[in-house]
A and B are shown apart, each in its own frame.
Chain A
Amino acid sequence: MTTATRLGAAMLAAAIGLTAAGCSADSTGSDDTSSTPAAAGSVDLRMTVWTSNEDQLALFDSIAESYRAEHPEIGSITFESLPFADYNTTLTTQIAGGNAPDLAWMGDLSEDLISSDALVPLTEKLQDTEGWNYDDLLDSVTAEFSDGDELYAYPFSNSPFALYVNTDLLAQAGQTLPADGLTWEDVSTIGAAVNAATGKGGFVLRDFDYASWNVLGTVWPGWGAAAWSEDGTECTFDSPEMTEAFRFLHDAAFVDGSMPGPGTTADFFAGDSAFTVAQVSRASLLDGSFAYDVVPLPEGPAGEYSVIGQAGVGVLSSSDHVEEATDFLAYLTNPENAALLAQYFPPPRESLLTGEALAANNPKLTAEQLQTVVVDRIPDAVTLPNHANPAEIAQKGKTALDAMWTADADVEAVLGSVCDAIQPLLSR
């Protein structure tokens, strides 16, 4: 091949690239929000979810069927189940490829979607929908999915983190929970005793695995610490409160032996540890092979606190059927359907949040447990750290924080390096 031929081939490829890129960018920028009535059966809606639970999908299908019966213009409503581990990447790739869904579940991607105007504002629509009762939504659960007073996604799942206790293991080690309130120091002391007596793990922060550091956001509020300032512009990993919180975790892993160290697998639900911090929705993993209790998160030096993990559902502004999708969202989340969804997901509506109501559909936890760890906790709960560009912040933070998980780590210096790594991203 001559140089001229090579050059020609490269230019051809670039030209094809240009054309295809142009098509791709255009196709994601569709803005067809026409309000003219659609022909019968002409609108197909697709919603991406990360659940593959057949009962949950059946519930969504039945709600969609009811909606279609009242709306002849809707041809089909499909719930596309994507694997949870790759959900953000898959959804983003669909959006980039011009194949965005009309509605989507979202977790930590919400900030990016809201700041990019990729979500349809919902407040007016929901307030104007008869019987929807917008004021029933708790302020603490809508903040994460709002920009100012505008709501961009309905927080359908608000699952508080709680402390699960394997009371069999505690009994084997001759330990009991203190009657006057549990602190993190108590958890570490009892966990170390269980570890020494039984060889099982003390306390496990589920899904942390010394990698997903945002899960530590279930611990550090006990010390009054936060990952960054409220407006999200200043890293506060190097604060004295955070330093103390990490000293506690580091000692637990490398001095007291109350938390299994890095690279050690210990699954609470398989009976491998005395305690675990996990969302209330994980109670379904309890198989009755050991006696357990579920209590609110322990107190830290800064006192009581509670944390929730949230999921929202919103309408993508790139949808060809924004109006129909928004209307379906209002139907899916109206008080009647919200009560149905509450079987599986702790609801954002105050009227549905009672221990008895939640216990009716939760065979693993008692009404009293649900009242103390869910109902009483949601109104004042904080969420796990969330920020625009979550994946890059998580990765840069992890890269710096890896140095924390060795026995001789300099806690203060490592936390300083975390701020060095993520501050440029917070400042963008």
Chain B
Amino acid sequence: MKAPFWTTRRRDALTGYLFITPQLIGVVVFVLVPVGLAVWYSLNDWNIFRGELTFVGGENWAALLDDPQLPSVLGATAVFSGGVVVLNISLGLALAVMLNRRFRGVTVFRTMFFSPVVVSVVAWTLVWGFLLQDNGGINAALSVVGIDGTNWLQNGNTAMVAVIVTQVIRSVGVNMVLFLAALQGVPGELYEAARIDGAGDAAIFRRITLPLISPTLLLTAIITIVGALQAFAQIAVLTQGGPGLSTTVLVYYVFQQAFEFNDIGYGSTLALMLLTFVMLLTLLQWQLRRKWVFHEN
């Protein structure tokens, strides 16, 4: 007797495929096809106005080595991403630890720190742009206490700091909520046992809290790094990459090359380089998780 085609295993497999089909279509149309196109464009010189696509092989890739601005752009990208990641995670964790206690008004504080997350990036950045002007609100507030504030966005030393802080204040709420959830998942008896053993606050935090929330630390580290490497609107609205190249991060540079200078080939090459960075960083963190993420041991 012939076995029926629709076995339970096949039915389950079909159900599974049907569930992932919408997502798969999205990934193919909005990720794989554009990445494939970017690879192709990176091998070509596209004269948009003439409608001519000329195959140039590795010329755009070789141009990466000759681009005098690229080292500054990569440096700015590293400073911005590093600054955002360190500040965002440490501030998010500190806020979560503080707001993981029971005290009057804790919900108000949690809402206050989370609310910037739901504000549009552009609206948030525009308002901060006004505040950070030479004659803006921040310097006006500083002058009240006798401090002569600098020209935050026009000064090469402070523009990057201003952009990082603006970004962190807006997005720290997400990490704070994730850390809060993780902290509330730490069993209370572990703290109790540690205290009976005579452990102080610092030791408890280092020996119990941090290891138990390490999976969340990994998650927040990955999403914060990826988010920082994708930051565009903040730069476009606040500084347009200036002064000089001090805040020109890689995503903004890709936009300039591809859509302002109409050099789609070189812009695609830079975009693929960014994609490679993101993948490598994520892969590195994924590999390192065995060393420092508690549940992976």
Contact = CB atoms under 8 A, between A and B. Distances in A.
A116 B48 CA distance: 9
Given A13-B32, A405-B154, A95 B134 contact: no
Interface in B168-226: none
Interface in A1-55: 9-10, 12-18, 20-22, 25-29
Given A112-B49, A117-B50, A399 B244 contact: yes
Interface residues of A, number: 45
Interface in B258-296: 259-264
A118 interface: yes
Interface in A394-408: 395, 398-400, 402-403, 405
Interface in A191-250: 210-211
B261 A264 contact: no
A403 B152 CA distance: 15
B100 interface: no
B154 A21 contact: no
A9 B133 CA distance: 49
B53 A21 contact: yes
A92 B48 contact: yes
A17 B40 contact: yes
A10 B240 CA distance: 34
Interface string B230-250: 000000000011111100000
A351 interface: no
A295 to B, nearest CB: 28
Nearest to B260: A391
A25 B46 CA distance: 9
A89 interface: yes
A400 B53 CA distance: 32
A118 B37 contact: no
Given A25-B52, A403-B244, A116 B36 contact: no
B48 A262 contact: no
Nearest to A26: B51
A14 B36 CA distance: 4
A306 interface: no
Contacts of B243: 402-403, 405
Interface string A275-291: 00000000000000000
B262 A92 contact: yes
B134 A20 contact: no
B133 A395 contact: no
Contact of B51 (A10, A16, A318, A403): A318
Interface in A324-368: none
Given A261-B151, A402-B244, A116 B261 contact: no
B38 to A, nearest CB: 8
Contacts of B262: 92, 96, 112, 391
A148 interface: no
B160 interface: no
A65 interface: no
A265 B151 CA distance: 12
A262 B151 contact: yes
Interface in B30-61: 32-33, 35-41, 44, 46-53
A235 to B, nearest CB: 16
Interface centre among B48, B49, B69 (most CB of A within 10 A): B49
B153 interface: yes
A10 B135 CA distance: 52
B166 interface: no
B134 A13 contact: no
A261 B53 CA distance: 45
A395 B50 contact: no
Contacts of A133: none
A113 interface: yes
Nearest to A263: B134
B76 to A, nearest CB: 12
A351 to B, nearest CB: 34
A93 interface: yes
Given A112-B49, A211-B240, A262-B151, A389 B261 contact: yes
Q: Of A13, A113, A389, A392, which is in contact with the most chain B CB atoms at under 10 Å from its CB?
A: A13
B39 A17 contact: yes
The residue in A14, A27, A112 that gathers the most chain B C-beta atoms within 10 A of its C-beta is A14
A17 B135 contact: no
A95 B48 contact: yes
B134 A264 contact: yes
A399 B37 contact: no
Contacts of B38: 17
A25 B51 contact: yes
A392 B260 contact: yes
Contacts of B152: 263
Contacts of B241: 399
Nearest to B32: A13
B153 to A, nearest CB: 6
Given A13-B36, A29-B51, A405-B243, 7 more contacts: A25-B46, A29-B52, A113-B49, A118-B49, A210-B154, A264-B135, A402-B243
12 contacts: A14-B36, A14-B40, A25-B52, A28-B51, A118-B50, A263-B154, A264-B135, A265-B133, A265-B135, A391-B261, A398-B242, A403-B244
Interface of A: 9-10, 12-18, 20-22, 25-29, 89, 92-93, 95-96, 112-113, 116-118, 210-211, 261-265, 318, 389, 391-392, 395, 398-400, 402-403, 405
A-B CB proximity, top 7 nearest = A13-B36, A28-B51, A116-B49, A17-B36, A263-B134, A402-B243, A17-B37
